[in-house]
Amino acid sequence: MQNTQGKRLPRAARVRKTDEFSSVFAFRCRTSGAFFQVFAKPNGGQGPRLGLVVSRRVNRMKRVLRELFRKVRPTLPSLDWVVRVHTGFVDIASDRVEGELMRQFGVLTRKCHAGLSS
């Protein structure tokens, strides 16, 4: 069996509890795109963390989004990110998904994080 531990998104890098998701949604810093809606909230320096809201019909996208997040995580500010996937998001190429995700991360970084550092 292949060791995938180094390639996995660490548990500490995930938004997992219901109250964590609720606080990100309540912060009301969000953006929408063709494939998903992204919410963000500063997390007090815990590093970037990801939460996913995905129906079973688009479950494949969990793996794609986690992998993209793992790849760009070192460049992201210390925010809790929650991605809510639209149900029409099924057979989209990963490069289109990455472009859309990075665009939304950029918008939310300016919108949610930059205002707090002033």
Residue 8: inside a domain, yes or no?
no
Residue 4: inside a domain, yes or no?
no
Cα 115 to Cα 109: distance, rounded to the nearest angstrom: 9
Residue 95: inside a domain, yes or no?
yes
| Cβ atoms of residues 32 and 89 within 8 Å | no
What's the whole-number average pLDDT of the chain? Answer: 86
Q: What's the structural domain count of the chain?
A: 1
For 61-93, the pLDDT digits (tens) are: 888 899 999 999 999 999 999 999 986 666 777
Q: Provide the domain limits for residue 83.
A: 13-116
Beta bridge partner(s), residue 24: none
Cα 2 to Cα 14: distance, rounded to the nearest angstrom: 23
Q: How far is CA 46 from the centre of its chain?
A: 15
| Cβ atoms of residues 25 and 44 within 8 Å | no
Q: pTM for the full model?
A: 0.86
